[in-house]
Structure 1
Amino acid sequence: MSHSDHIPFELSHIKMDMVNEQACLLRFADHIDDTVADAIGLVTRQLRSLAGIIDTIPSYTSLLVTFDVEHHDRFAICQQIQTLLDNLDMTEVTSRASREVVIPVYYAEEAGPDLQEVAKHCDMTVEEVIQLHSQTTYRAYAIGFTPGFAFLGNTPKALHIPRKNTPRLKVPIGSVAIAEQQTAVYPSVSPGGWQILGRTPTPLVDWQSDSLALIEVGDNVRFEPISRAEFLAQGGQLDGF
């Protein structure tokens, strides 16, 4: 289904709940689909223009908004948010062409230590795993626990695999991984239990940009296999495990 086929999301369905004095949660729906993701993406972009908002953290069905309460009145901010929601036009979503982000990936055991395990679990060859993973176009549904960590769906059913029983204490920056129906890239060194297939030399966070993250909610994301030489030439590092 293309964006133009969507039934526009009803912004009047959004519920605002105070989380604490410094944040509110906008609840869009109780199910995951593209129209909900479109609405969250639109509201996230529009909220950046409001004074007093520190951060917006989108998830699959909601949006957490944090305030600068030292310099702004939280009730005034909430009123501003409500006014913005009341005046937004969801047709802006359908007219926005989805951005495509292409991420180069070096798929190999030295960069993706779980490749063999994934291939065995999915009853495929390593080459088939790489081909299927890189031929799929994913959608960024949510931004996760760290800046730039985008939850991408949906991974093909043939590649569904549970998280690792014992998470790694340290996953190297740029690691491309899968778990259940999701794919993600680790934007920084962190613990993680996803199955690692490879690594990208492309930084996922740009501290100089307004949005910080390379991938935003609503973007389409593709992975493009590159060679070891290309990976190293683009600044990729092979240490970290």
Structure 2
Amino acid sequence: MRVLRAGDAALLVETGDLVTAHRLNAALRDDPPPGVVDVVPGEQTVLVIVDPSADLDRLAARLPQLRLPEDAAGDAEPVEIPVVYDGEDLDEVAALTGLSRDEVVHRHTTASYTVAYLGFSPGFGYLTGLDPALHVARRESPRTSVPAGSVAIAGPYAAVYPSSSPGGWRLLGRSRLRLWDVTRDPPSLLRPGTRVRFVPREPS
């Protein structure tokens, strides 16, 4: 674990792996040291934002000594995301991978996912754990509008679009589950370290 200064009021912790980043994020969220005002996890980093009056050197020395939880998700059950697999790119993904449509759906739903980090738009979780057979590149030409709830894959990641936005990921299906709701506390259903399962549903 390496701790670097990031300006006058932040420290960037390079953890070297996803699991340690999630564990450090959980430790800082559950019991933040004095002066810590926000935590922004990445895939292998954690940005620790502090009060300008905090002693950065003291905090930097303390961070590697923090006791980290064994499991960032604790005893929480995986978030189940129901999906109707009728996405516009399902046939193309099948062709690119050499799999049938049913096999693409099977591999997508039997994998165990973990939210690596949030980005791109509020509530957009980058999910690791995608079956390597489904690793396909983004579309060459992004769509100008992808509907909220679209379930997609790109490279090693899976995701669900929490709101309508442009996007170049390949669409496998759609879900009615609301991932981002400003009236909810917290607004995002997903957070780094959350486990996720996709569950196939028939169209209604």
TM bucket normalised to smaller: 0.7 to 0.9
Shift of residue 191 of structure 1? 1.7
Q: Is residue 2:110 matched to residue 1:126?
A: no
The question of whether the paired residues in 2 share the 8 Å contact of 1:168 and 1:192 is answered with: yes
- TM-score using structure 1 length: 0.73
Corresponding letter in the other structure for 1:183: A
Tell me the equivalent position of 2:22: 38
Tell me the equivalent position of 1:15: 3
- The answer to which structure has the higher helix fraction is 1
Tell me the distance in 1 between the aligned counterparts of 2:186 and 2:104.
Answer: 32
SS at match of 1:224: strand
The question of whether the paired residues in 2 share the 8 Å contact of 1:47 and 1:81 is answered with: no
Tell me the distance in 2 between the aligned counterparts of 1:37 and 1:213.
Answer: 19
Tell me the equivalent position of 2:70: 93
Corresponding letter in the other structure for 2:54: A
Shift in CA distance, 205/130, structure 1 to aligned 2, threshold 3 Å: same
Tell me the equivalent position of 2:169: 194
Tell me the equivalent position of 1:140: 115
Shift in CA distance, 124/56, structure 1 to aligned 2, threshold 3 Å: same
Tell me the distance in 1 between the aligned counterparts of 2:150 and 2:184.
Answer: 22
Q: Deviations over 1:53-88 (max 9, x none)?
A: 2x4321111123445xxxxx4141746854762662
Shift in CA distance, 47/196, structure 1 to aligned 2, threshold 3 Å: farther
Tell me the distance in 1 between the aligned counterparts of 2:96 and 2:18.
Answer: 28
Tell me the distance in 2 between the aligned counterparts of 1:14 and 1:42.
Answer: 18
Q: How many residues align?
A: 203
Shift of residue 42 of structure 1? 1.9
Across the aligned residues of Structure 1 and Structure 2, the Cα RMSD in angstroms comes to 2.7
Tell me the distance in 2 between the aligned counterparts of 1:103 and 1:77.
Answer: 43
Identity %: 34
Tell me the equivalent position of 2:39: 56
- TM-score using structure 2 length: 0.85
The question of whether the paired residues in 1 share the 8 Å contact of 2:29 and 2:39 is answered with: no
Structure 1: gaps of 5 or more residues:
1-12, 68-72, 230-241
Tell me the distance in 2 between the aligned counterparts of 1:189 and 1:148.
Answer: 12
